[in-house]
Amino acid sequence: MWLRIGLSSFGGPAGQIAVMHRVLVDEHKWVSEEQFLHALKFCTLLPGPEAQQLATYIGWLLHDVRGGLIAGSLFILPGLLAILGLSILYVTVGQVALVQAVFAGLKPAVLAIVAEALSRIARRALKHRALWFLAGAAFVALFFFKVPFPIVVLAAGLIGWVQREAWGEPSSEAEAPASAATRPARARTIRTVVVGLAIWWVPVGALALGLGPRHVLVSQAVFYSKAAVVTFGGAYAALTYVGQKAVEQLHWLLPGQMVDGLALAETTPGPLILVLQFVGFLTTYRLGAPVDGIVGGIVGSLVVVWTTFVPSFLFVLAGAPYMETLRRRPRLTGALTAITAAVVGVIANLAVWFALKVIFHEHRHVGLGPLSVDLPVWASVDWPGVLIALAALVAVFRFKLGILRILGLASLAGLLQWW
């Protein structure tokens, strides 16, 4: 099931969260709405890719540490293999037009899946007018004023803490006792942290001993480890940070190559942050001597994936038991409920950003004082994409078609358009 979710998780964090919600909550009912939203709150507070962390959290919730490792790994595996294959094609053939044609049909269809999930989550999470206002305020702050993500979430939590009585009583599920599997234990937490740090840093140390501390593979391992810790706000924050450092300061690749990698990552399944794998491949493909070329690129891409995602597993597996305990403390319910509303605004922001990128080829930046927004150039509208998106909306809302069927038809439409 997690492999199926990974294969169908297109459209960046918004699309991936939408797919997980539909499969796990609505279709299979493996977790409740409250459990899903609570996990999402925690993962949006962590640095790194929130969708992969959400998969890890829910896998842990279902089957403890083993479940978290399996869910998180299978979620990223399809995208990892896709980006690796496309990276090899990129440096050998120089173009992947046929593959991009398939994904050109998929991206507009994902808009419909995102819209349906956003509508469903909003209806279930925003049960009071004040919560709708908080969600709207979070969206405006993020989309129009580029307020840093942690500030938005912390402000929502503070409002919820002060006004906790406004949200109503906590659900009965929120007051249920914790199971042995999810109850926090200090010894288990220490063991998780120690083992996680060893898995994270021992391979990096081995690379430094074997190749020297200044080798590009070691530099990448340290750089992406740092990025995994400091990039709050999800994949887009990480991409901004890495793009500025890797292109402008370290000169590991050209700006155009970063854009190509982002295009590939946006049109393949799995976390958007896998664009860093593409960056790692190109870097060691050129600079990885004596391990350069295709082999060096593969090694570099795997090092980047390792140092990007191992910290995410560690953060979730060490912190999830404590978050489950917080869910059962009524005095914190107000803060967490308000954060849930802010998370709905975050998903809406990601959905609108993705929709503008898919439907319009060109954008122009508008800044006026604190206002900062990228508006679409209407003459650049992608009419085939609009038609595919509208057809997918009808398929989702009117005919209730399954995700795989919708994505299959959309990919066929993309091929027909290319042909």
- Match 């979070």 to its residue by tokens: 138
Tokens of 105: 């049909």
pLDDT of residue 128: 85
Tokens of 167: 């949200």
251's torsion region: left (phi>0), alpha (psi -120 to 50) or beta?
left
pLDDT of residue 170: 47
Beta carbons of 410 and 400 less than 8 angstroms apart: no
End-to-end CA distance of the chain: 33
pLDDT of residue 234: 63
Q: What is the pLDDT of residues 84-126, one digit of tens each?
A: 998 998 888 765 677 677 777 877 887 887 788 788 788 878 8
Residue 374 CB coordination number (10 Å): 14
Return the closest-CA partner of residue 44 out of 14, 23, 24, 75: 14
Q: Please give the C-alpha separations between residue 219 and each of 11, 113, 123, 300, in angstroms, as whole numbers.
A: 30, 39, 46, 11
Distance CA 336, CA 164 (A): 9
Residues contacting residue 151 through CB under 8 Å, at least 6 positions apart? none
3-state helix, strand, coil in the chain (%, to 5): 80, 5, 20
Beta carbons of 109 and 414 less than 8 angstroms apart: no
Distance CA 225, CA 330 (A): 36
pLDDT of residue 132: 94
Paired residues of 381 in beta bridges: 360
- Helices assigned H by DSSP within 2-49: 2-7, 12-20, 33-45
Distance CA 379, CA 353 (A): 18
Beta carbons of 328 and 174 less than 8 angstroms apart: yes
Distance CA 255, CA 247 (A): 6
pLDDT of residue 95: 56
Q: Is 245 exposed, middle or buried (0-12, 13-18, 19+ CB in 10 A)?
A: middle
* Rg of the chain taking only CA atoms, in angstroms: 21
Return the closest-CA partner of residue 69 out of 52, 45, 86: 52
Amino acid identity, position 137: A
Mean pLDDT by 10 residues, the chain (419 residues): 82 81 90 89 85 95 94 94 89 70 78 81 84 93 86 87 63 44 76 96 95 92 90 65 76 73 72 88 87 90 96 95 74 78 83 84 87 90 93 90 81 86
